[in-house]
Structure 1
């Protein structure tokens, strides 16, 4: 089953990446931009791409692999067009991530080739279809599905929202506007009726979504949803500079800039700078690099990394 899930993630990612690409791509590009092909020799990756293309063709996806290049013939799609709103396209973009093991595997696999045919690409991140945070594994398919349908229909909803672990759920009533991602976390944006203002909710903390009948007017979307989320969470965003041993920290580099060959104490290392990223994500990502990190700035982020590593070490004893 795990291998089947890995295959689905890989093939969905390859399809979406090629649909979004304006030109044919070689195997090296696929390895660098599509999850599931890295960490292999070039020949092994080429064989895997070739096999995946054959299986995609069996599914009706007009993928091609020839002379070391791979592409999708977009004009040959025979599936009907799918008209997606910007919010729905963001959710469709989650499909490659949601194909991983967990409660959303079946949701993601159902009809993904038709969704790909729409030309929708993943708008959840500017980076290629790569790593995800734990949000993806904790989202419920029924919750996401219900919210998307109500966004499309301008339908008021109520739901349970848990502010923090151990807290009792609060019942909220909201006119839903859409689902937005920031630093691999999924957020739900809408107008909170009881609080008479716009509110942002971490989607994994939302459950038991129900339609609400109402006689007053639905509050129409106001402003750019991405900007609303960023403004709401601005206090949790940080700029970080990390010095790592050469080649390490690709996940950080995808979100920022890498300067190679920095001389630190007689060693050639890389310096990676990321700006405006989620603090928790930055701390967890830096901590995962462990012995490959030489320095971290600012100091408060460095302290959080050290604290996380100590907690992990104590938990393993």
Structure 2
């Protein structure tokens, strides 16, 4: 049975190497009869591989495209190449791909032999990328958290708050969210008895426990993290009515910075957070639409000051000369 399984895997590897093989060619390569090749092809089909067969001149066996994705057969070099590529994709540089890359990397890491894991880690540690303003996240910690979310087990880690205060946390993780610049974990903080958002670049000594937990009712992690990072994480919060449709406002803003809600077909409520009133005022002026500040009142004062400064800067010095 083991010999048959090995032969079927070898057959699959051959079918992946070139478009078409004839039955006699495969039989010669594998040292069996063409009848054995036909049986092995049926075994591959039973596993979900769409092996097509055509008669006549130019015909033969061909690995086609199926409706679903069957298990992949990778040799050592291919497995290392895929793992390294997934680590880079998990950095959030490809829109919409980072979460899928992380899930795939977690699955691959689970079945990868220790020697190949070592090769992947060596390549990752020896590779540098130009800084694009993204916070650095430990790849091993990212994998541990992804597996903990998948396996519904508690996680312990050291955490540094915004003001630098250190703490130790025990949480029940439910989702990882990438904003493009940073990674966040949504989890239930066991000691504080409440939901929390944690930045992965502020974590240290991430360890998954063997304590399995029953998932609690919770909102979508992406929506929870977005609300947390766009408002509660900043010193300044604002509510602004923008006189433009939501789709047009969305093109001039980012979900990583604001929360948008359609008031009607022509008006959008923008809720945002910022480190300073000046920064928020600049952003609102840049989006290019008429708007009304609902709160805070201090933001209106900053906008008025900016407006007066802009008017003075736009005056023609020559027109004021005697």
| Common fold: TM-score over 0.5 | no
Which structure would you say has the larger Rg? 2
State the TM-score bracket (shorter-chain normalisation).
0.3 to 0.5
Provide TM-score, normalisation by structure 1. Answer: 0.40
